[in-house]
Structure 1
Amino acid sequence: MFVRELQLRDFRSWHEMDLTLRPEPTIFVGRNGFGKTNLLEAVFYLTNLRSHRVSTDAPLVHSGATAATVLGTVENLGRELTVQLQINAEGANKATINTSPARRARDILGILRAVMFAPEDLLLIRGDPSDRRRFVDELVAQKGPRWAAARSDYDRVLRQRSALLKTAGAALRRGGSEADSVISTLDVWDEQLADLGGQVTAARIDVLAELVPHFSGAYGAIAPHSRPATLAYRAAAGPEVLPASDSPASAEDIRDILLERLAELRSKEIDRGVSLVGPHRDDIDIILGSDVAKGFASHGESWSLALSLRLGSVELTRAEGIEPVIMLDDVFAELDAQRRTQLAEVTASAEQLLITAAVPDDIPDRIGGRRVGVDVVEDNGRRASVLRDVPTGEESS
């Protein structure tokens, strides 16, 4: 799988950009802040319908514009699909597949499969549970639109249920028909939250089980003298959520457990005005030896674990018979010489490798391919990124 054509209009620092790519390494070189990462971010957005850097879409739209457009032509095993996404600063985004409008933007999920390595990956080890949940949800979403639908619907129900909880306490104190209405409405939201939560949690547990051997193997290769590494799902609803060894997770069983926990915690949730149980409260433990890595893993160990999560993601996709696009966003600058060499070795077999670097010398010599410069110009009084050819051996200015 590779991206043959990439077009951007008013995306981040790019006012207008048309680039033809090939199934080979392409290295984007230029100073920090010139827009290199924005190119990879656009490809990532086509893959996951979200940025790896911001949680909302408004920052993705070029200053002064109301919408951005990202178009990618993807070739996979001789089949070609062109996906175009209109990202609106306000309102819902719109997508087309081979010029035909998609019912929902998420219908494009699964057409392009890509794995991004970025400096932000350290947050997977050292950051909040939300960073690790997002990582697993991306793996689930790349399997296709229906996998993303449950999570989107769950988030919607969670927002509405949480809004009700914030006002439920006062309504119950007033009593009467208003209290009865709150309780009956909360029962409905509980059913929906448990049903969708069961689907989301089961999908996460299953994809994590598929990832574990790839992750553990990657860490063993990167850090052969370290302790073994593995992953474990930690559910706020309790360990009962986890299936028996080697068994797939049951969305129905998890739904029943969530309903029980919601009933047990209802008074406490009303008092606090928040939803206390569900996949939005879960975490993924990254375990080194017998200890959870967060809080004690060294800087080098943390980087090795983060790289192993991404390398495991690559192998997980390959296990489905799909060769993902691999993107390395200025990560060589963050790694020591040994890990640079290891990363170059394990990504050498990628059909398409997209790399950004502020300092070309950070790129291991064994990585060849094409070099493309990224510069900035003034465009109608606005600063905009532009491309320029870089002859082999030229340093970025």
Structure 2
Amino acid sequence: MIVEHLSLGDFRNYATAELRLHPGPNVLVGRNGQGKTNLAEAIVFLATLGSHRVSSDAPMVKDGREFAVIRARLAVGERQVLTEVQINRQGSNKARINGAPSKTSELPRYAHVVLFAPEDLQIVRGDPSSRRRFADQMLIQRTPRLAGVLADYDRVLKQRSALLKSARARGIRGEGLNTLDVWDDKLIALGSEIIDARIRLASDLTQPLIDAYSAIAGADHNPEIDWALSIGGRDPEDGDPEDGTTLREAQGSRAKIAEMFRSALHEKRSAELDRGLTLVGPHRDDLILRVRDLPVKGYASHGESWSVALALRLASAELLRAESPAGDPVLILDDVFAELDADRRRRLASLTAGYEQVLVTAAVEEDIPDVLHRHVVRVNAGKITDARAHQSDGDAEEKEEGA
């Protein structure tokens, strides 16, 4: 897939913006805070229906406006696809594909993007929500309809948790909670599908992660990826993930997962009523990452943590590359080279340069390895200038004057 043109309206610091991109490496250069990452974020949104920087959509809408618009012309295989999304400050977002109204969940069918960013270190060192977000954005890219499943699960979770809070406040127990059983059924049906998809994702990422880590770190530290699941009877969100049920124990039919889910809800019912919280489900699970048979979080060095984070992204790109009939995903390297030592910088550049399209952002142009230093665009206070095209125009004018 290639992003040929990006157009923004009232998105972040841009009232309007037009960006032409090319196959191969594209470089956006500008000081911090000028809008480079906003351009990357817009492209990522089309692929994942979310931001890598914020958990809600409202911050992406320019101050004083009610909605933002992202439009992109994509080359998907041998055809062009025009995609558009209207991000509303309040209410549901709207999408169009080739000019026709569409569900927003259809956008990831066409836009495949893998982002490398400084925030990736939080995937391996941060709280479980960072790892869940990483996994769920990959699920949406692999199976776009799961965007709807995830959204439905969140709605059911809110309704069920509201009922628990109400029951706690009113002191309701036993038969007075018959309504909760209805929400249990919905939570189990949607949650089991998410857990099953996450388990399969971790399994499919295992070998690509091993290969990518070795290529980036230049060492074999036996990286592992696994899930700690709250349906196993413990609560990874409460800080004890290693005692949770892992994917090897839970892997099997969705019916088995649903059975474990229902049993765990039954066991946690009293605790849920005491706390007014839903304590079982994919919203409480954690993705466990290990190197050298130790959890990355709390044990890995800074360099090892970066190698795992980069390997996760590269493994994701390789997985999408293998599965997509539309070609490579677009790789976005957002200010990541400034965070890396010279060796990892060189290795990452050589591993990503062969993708059909790469977008690199940097505050310091010298940070960009030569293999990725191609088409240059400068960004300054929301103004986009095609540096190479401008230089070419100047050369042409000089030739005309000389003639």
The TM-score, its normalising length taken from structure 1, stands at 0.91
- The one-letter amino acid of 1:372's match is V
Distance 2:162 2:131 in 1: 25
- The one-letter amino acid of 2:247's match is L
- Which residue of 2 is the match for residue 154 of structure 1? 153
- Corresponding residue to 2:261 among 210, 234, 258: 258
Matches within 5 A, 1:152-231: 152-173=151-172, 180=175, 182-231=176-225
Distance 1:242 1:364 in 2: 39
Q: Contact 2:226–2:247 (CA<8 Å) still a contact in 1?
A: no
Distance 2:366 2:67 in 1: 36
CA spacing shift, 1:170–1:35, aligned 2, 3 Å: closer
- Which residue of 1 is the match for residue 74 of structure 2? 74
Which ranges in structure 2 are unaligned for 5 or more consecutive residues?
233-243, 392-403
Cα offset, 1:241, TM superposition: 6.9
Superimposed CA distance per residue, residues 157-177 of structure 1 (whole angstroms, 9 cap, x where no aligned partner): 11000001111134345x7xx
- Which residue of 2 is the match for residue 10 of structure 1? 10
- The one-letter amino acid of 2:125's match is R
- Which residue of 2 is the match for residue 361 of structure 1? 366
Q: Does 1:271 find its partner at 2:265? A: no
Which ranges in structure 1 are unaligned for 5 or more consecutive residues?
377-384
Distance 2:246 2:222 in 1: 25
Distance 1:49 1:348 in 2: 26
Secondary structure, in 3 states, of the residue corresponding to 2:145? helix
Distance 1:27 1:62 in 2: 25
Superimposed CA distance per residue, residues 91-126 of structure 1 (whole angstroms, 9 cap, x where no aligned partner): 111000101001x32222221000000000000110
- Which residue of 2 is the match for residue 379 of structure 1? none
CA spacing shift, 1:242–1:304, aligned 2, 3 Å: closer
- The one-letter amino acid of 1:358's match is A
Cα offset, 1:392, TM superposition: 9.3
Q: Does 1:293 find its partner at 2:296? A: yes
- The one-letter amino acid of 1:191's match is D
- Which residue of 2 is the match for residue 42 of structure 1? 42
Secondary structure, in 3 states, of the residue corresponding to 2:370? coil
Q: Contact 1:205–1:249 (CA<8 Å) still a contact in 2?
A: no
Q: Contact 1:243–1:250 (CA<8 Å) still a contact in 2?
A: no
CA spacing shift, 1:269–1:244, aligned 2, 3 Å: closer
Secondary structure, in 3 states, of the residue corresponding to 1:140? helix
- Which residue of 2 is the match for residue 86 of structure 1? 86
Distance 1:162 1:64 in 2: 33
Q: What's the C-alpha RMSD, in Å, of the aligned pairs? A: 1.8
Distance 1:287 1:192 in 2: 33
Distance 1:391 1:98 in 2: 30
- Which residue of 2 is the match for residue 142 of structure 1? 141
Q: Which moved more, 1:76-85 or 1:328-337?
A: 76-85
Cα offset, 1:366, TM superposition: 2.1
- Which residue of 2 is the match for residue 29 of structure 1? 29
Cα offset, 1:145, TM superposition: 3.0
- Which residue of 2 is the match for residue 98 of structure 1? 98
- Which residue of 1 is the match for residue 400 of structure 2? none
Secondary structure, in 3 states, of the residue corresponding to 1:34? coil
Distance 1:158 1:142 in 2: 23
Q: Contact 2:29–2:363 (CA<8 Å) still a contact in 1?
A: yes
- Which residue of 1 is the match for residue 229 of structure 2? 235
- Which residue of 1 is the match for residue 397 of structure 2? none
Secondary structure, in 3 states, of the residue corresponding to 1:217? helix
Q: Contact 1:329–1:355 (CA<8 Å) still a contact in 2?
A: yes
Cα offset, 1:141, TM superposition: 0.5
- Which residue of 2 is the match for residue 131 of structure 1? 130
- The one-letter amino acid of 1:308's match is A
- Which residue of 2 is the match for residue 111 of structure 1? 110
Secondary structure, in 3 states, of the residue corresponding to 2:130? helix
Distance 2:180 2:22 in 1: 54
Q: Which moved more, 1:206-215 or 1:138-147?
A: 138-147
Distance 2:119 2:252 in 1: 30
Q: Contact 1:106–1:148 (CA<8 Å) still a contact in 2?
A: yes
Q: Does 1:120 find its partner at 2:114? A: no
- The one-letter amino acid of 1:203's match is A
Secondary structure, in 3 states, of the residue corresponding to 1:216? helix
- Corresponding residue to 2:322 among 319, 323, 336: 319
Secondary structure, in 3 states, of the residue corresponding to 1:280? helix
Q: Contact 1:206–1:249 (CA<8 Å) still a contact in 2?
A: no
Cα offset, 1:249, TM superposition: 4.0
Distance 1:309 1:48 in 2: 16
- The one-letter amino acid of 1:194's match is I
The TM-score, its normalising length taken from structure 2, stands at 0.90
- Which residue of 2 is the match for residue 381 of structure 1? none
Cα offset, 1:58, TM superposition: 1.3
Query: Taking every aligned residue pair, what percent have the same amino acid on both sides?
Result: 46
Secondary structure, in 3 states, of the residue corresponding to 2:230? coil
Superimposed CA distance per residue, residues 185-244 of structure 1 (whole angstroms, 9 cap, x where no aligned partner): 001111111111100000000011101110111111222335211101110111667356
- The one-letter amino acid of 2:373's match is G
Q: Which moved more, 1:311-320 or 1:59-68?
A: 59-68
Q: Does 1:337 find its partner at 2:342? A: yes
Higher helix share: 2
Q: Does 1:62 find its partner at 2:72? A: no
Q: Contact 2:29–2:362 (CA<8 Å) still a contact in 1?
A: yes
- The one-letter amino acid of 2:380's match is D
- Which residue of 2 is the match for residue 348 of structure 1? 353
